[in-house]
Amino acid sequence: MEEKRKYDLEERLIDFAVLVIQIAESLFNTRAGNHLAGQLVRSGTSPALHYGEAQSAESRADFIHKLKILLKELRESRNALRIIKKVPLTDKIEILEKGLIESNELISIFVKSIETTKKNMEAERKEKRLKK
């Protein structure tokens, strides 16, 4: 069951990367559109790649660090999507909205994951202290 959840989250991040690429490709061919398209492709595809790194973390602290980087990239992507919407730099509002919703949901998931891992790490430290 646990492996299925990991796979689902990894798959969700990959789907988000694909969605981000589709949004970037839909942006108007302007200076702002081209700039934000490049930025969005970088920040929106990297969380899937960072998640793979996090799965191979050497420690809980390393895992948290990698998830924090992933979270920063998701927040950057969300802000780029918000700018694109406000200008607007695309007429594909439906996929843009989908990207905004998914970025918010993914941010919530990873904020909670980091909090949970930190709590588990602290509980483990307390347990080790009590055994001494």
pLDDT band at 1 (very low <50, low <70, confident <90, very high): very low
Q: Which residue blocks in the chain are alpha helix, DSSP H?
A: 2-26, 31-55, 60-86, 93-131
Q: What mean pLDDT comes out for the span 1-21?
A: 82
Q: What mean pLDDT comes out for the span 28-36?
A: 98
The domains of the chain are located at 2-131
Which of 130, 114, 101 lies closest to 68 in space, CA to CA? 114
- The CATH number fitting domain 2-131, selected from 3.30.70.3270, 1.10.10.10, 1.20.1440.60, 3.30.1600.10: 1.20.1440.60
pLDDT in tens, 35-46: 999 999 999 999
CA distance 51 to 71: 10
User: What's the distance, Cα to Cα, between the start and end of the chain in Å?
Assistant: 35
pLDDT in tens, 57-85: 999 999 999 999 999 999 999 999 999 99
